[in-house]
Amino acid sequence: MFVRLVTDSIYSEDVSYLRRFPTFLLDKEDEKIRNWIVNFFDEYGKVPTFPTVKKQFPWIIALDETDEPLAYVYDSTLDEMKTAWASHELEKLSLEVDIGEVSDVGERISELAHMLTGLSSEVIAYDEYDRDKPLRERVLKTGIKEIDRVTHGLADGDFGIIFGRLGNGKSLLAGLIAVNWYKQGKKVLVVSAEMLADDIYSRMDGTIGAFNPNVLRDPSAVVPQRAVIAHIARNFEGKILTAQRAVATPGAIRDLIRRFNVDAVVIDGLHLMRSDFGGVKAGWERLKDISNAIKLIALQERVPILAITQQKRGERETASPEDIAYSDAIGQDADIVISVKQEVKDEATRSTFLICISKNRFGAEAAAHILFSFNTMSILSEIPVTVEVD
């Protein structure tokens, strides 16, 4: 059954349905094939050919290509394998009942039913909605006063965008927010299509240890704070995780979220990612697929995701969501849009940045001038300002 989906996914050059297929329905060999194909795509940006797959798994038999839509093949495969899995589990439960290993049959049947029904969308009735619980169980303050004042932070399911021109402090702002989440005891996944893990962690060390991380690019530099930071990191409740290789697709990010049960995600270089659907597409189409997928992941996995992307070329005094590169593809998906512009730089030791919240799905817009010290990697002052978006 599963080989049909594997075959058509390869012919269609689309791994998205393999990626989302529930692995508990697969036997060990099918799961190996699924994982290998998905990992191949994440590594090389292309779906492997069938001969390539067969080199790894000689026993797999290629089926003839069909004209059925891949979504239909996925749905039919899922239905067949759900039925087979349920039949097998009920048969196993019956044997366990016969030999007295199960005391509460109803509870076991409810567990099995929950696993199966959890594969499809569930609904919440308006009259049964739980109004005693918080609107969001997790709201993470960014540490930037004006952002937190109007947004209260990023909550479960929120998709935030930071954008700006080259060298204007996008990664700097995102790093400050990531470290602030870490200090709140959260597990933060930081993925970058632009930097190695060593560079990411050196910036984190600089922010936590109050030193300029650029000194670490000198191999002979001695930074005593790093020994203290290493001790703190080993004993601190919060965690920062980053992949050793570039994470290239939204599906790969989803896999890491589920595998490590993270509380928040920061993506440096949204515009450099690849779509899970593969193929060659125009820039705006590729970004549309990526942006839609990231927003869906934030909602389905109930984690806040903050992503960095580029600003269009232009000379506006203040930027709006329309100034995001491929804005039609990204701006609509984002709940919160933050622009960053470096306005004054003082001998490479400190800078003044203009930060504008130019879209806030849940409240007002706002702006602030932030004076930042590169020597201590910290905000020296933050002054709210009133700006008009051109």
Q: Are 266 and 309 in contact (CB under 8 A)?
A: no
The total domain count for the chain is 2
Domain co-membership, 91 together with 162: no
Asked, for residue 130, whether it belongs to a domain, the answer is no
d(CA 138, CA 136): 5
Domain co-membership, 54 together with 163: no
Q: What's the pLDDT at 132?
A: 78
Neighbour tally for 322: CB within 10 Å: 16
Domain co-membership, 111 together with 149: no
How confident is the model over 265-313, as pLDDT tens digits? 999 988 888 887 665 555 677 888 888 889 989 988 899 999 998 887 6
Q: Is 117 exposed, middle or buried (0-12, 13-18, 19+ CB in 10 A)?
A: exposed
d(CA 293, CA 299): 10
Q: Which residues of 46-67 are buried (b: 16+ CB within 10 A; e: fewer)?
A: ebbeeeebeeeeeebeeeeeee
How confident is the model over 114-156, as pLDDT tens digits? 666 655 445 677 777 777 777 777 789 999 999 999 999 999 9
- CATH for 218: 3.40.50.300
Q: Answer yes or no: is pLDDT of 315 > 60.
A: no
The domain of 303 spans: 139-384
Asked, for residue 224, whether it belongs to a domain, the answer is yes
Q: What's the pLDDT at 121?
A: 47
Q: Answer yes or no: is pLDDT of 167 > 90.
A: no
Domain co-membership, 34 together with 92: yes
Domain co-membership, 8 together with 107: yes
Asked, for residue 311, whether it belongs to a domain, the answer is yes
How confident is the model over 71-89, as pLDDT tens digits? 889 989 988 888 888 888 7
Q: Which contiguous run of DSSP H or E holds residue 356?
A: strand 350-360
